[in-house]
């Protein structure tokens, strides 16, 4: 599995720097590399897998679980789609959602969740995908065998889609990526020591980002996710 390498700051290449200075600069850069804090949710009987990118900084978390920012609408959308209640996963009147309730729901419905990014650098210190440098991508060879019934992957934005496209044997041109609310065949090749083979004849759907920075009304996001889950037989 190839990783996308980051560029070192220009001054590291300055030969006038002492070895000690270069070590300090290297250590500073390494410290900026973050590892995704939440393990994937992988029900063995899952048939679809949600794939995002990277959570916001810890000070923005309302819980220690995927999509932890209270102002990200992911779990409101799930609440409306499956229970007609945006606050279904909310903890009373508190500004947080209940991770155990969400996790139990995902296992009950057979919905997996796995980020596309294992390690990254926040170039501007925030959660913006636009300024996220991917260091280590998801290892699908280790994830897919844990969810052998998954036939469909669905991304929650452009960056996650881009990362998954980069994992293909022959990545398509960006013009061929699925647009929001579109799908495509995803011919991922599973690499093992013995052989290379297709995995499950996967399909990739791209759904709207649930970030409030994404310029689409909540009702339209709900409609898009509802249509997808109906098509997947989850409703």
Report pTM: 0.83
- Give me the residues of the chain with pLDDT under 70, please: 1-31, 126-127, 192-200
- 20 in a domain, yes or no? no
- 21 in a domain, yes or no? no
Which phi and psi angles does 158 have, rounded to 5°? -70, -40
- 142 in a domain, yes or no? yes
- 15 in a domain, yes or no? no
For position 122, what pLDDT does the model report?
Answer: 86
- 27 in a domain, yes or no? no
- 23 in a domain, yes or no? no
What is the rounded CA–CA span in Å between residue 174 and residue 212? 24
Q: pLDDT per residue over 126-181, tens digit each?
A: 667 777 899 999 999 999 999 999 999 999 989 999 999 999 999 999 999 999 99
> What CATH number is given to the structural domain containing 159?
3.40.470.10
Q: What is the CA radius of gyration of the chain?
A: 19
Q: How many domains does the chain have?
A: 1
For position 23, what pLDDT does the model report?
Answer: 46
For position 114, what pLDDT does the model report?
Answer: 98
How many helices (H) does the chain have, and how many strands (E)? 6, 10
- 138 in a domain, yes or no? yes
- 11 in a domain, yes or no? no
For position 190, what pLDDT does the model report?
Answer: 78
For position 15, what pLDDT does the model report?
Answer: 40
161: burial class by Cβ within 10 Å (0-12, 13-18, 19+)?
buried
Which residue range(s) make up the domain with 167? 34-231
Dihedral, CA of residue 125, residue 66, residue 94 and residue 75, to nearest 10: 120
């Amino acid at each position: 599995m190839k990783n996308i390498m980051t560029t070192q700051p220009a001054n590291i290449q300055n030969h006038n720097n002492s070895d000690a200075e270069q070590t300090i600069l290297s250590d500073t850069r390494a410290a900026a590399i973050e590892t995704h804090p939440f393990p994937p949710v992988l029900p063995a009987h899952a048939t679809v897998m949600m794939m995002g990118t990277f959570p916001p900084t810890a000070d923005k978390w309302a819980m220690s679980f995927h999509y932890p920012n209270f102002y990200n609408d992911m779990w409101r959308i799930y609440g409306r789609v499956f229970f007609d209640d945006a606050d279904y996963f909310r903890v009373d009147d508190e500004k947080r959602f209940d991770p155990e309730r969400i996790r139990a729901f995902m296992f009950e419905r057979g919905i997996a969740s796995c980020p596309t990014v294992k390690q990254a650098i926040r170039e501007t210190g925030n959660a913006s995908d636009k300024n996220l440098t991917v260091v280590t991508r998801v290892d699908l060879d280790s994830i897919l065998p844990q969810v052998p019934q998954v036939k469909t992957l669905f991304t929650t934005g452009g960056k996650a889609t881009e990362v998954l496209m980069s994992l293909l044997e022959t990545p398509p041109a960006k013009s061929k990526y699925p647009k929001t609310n579109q799908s495509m065949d995803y011919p991922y090749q599973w690499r093992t020591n013995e052989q290379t083979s297709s995995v499950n004849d996967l399909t990739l759907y791209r759904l709207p980002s649930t970030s409030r920075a994404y310029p689409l009304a909540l009702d339209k996001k709900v409609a898009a996710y509802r249509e997808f889950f109906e098509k997947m037989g989850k409703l």
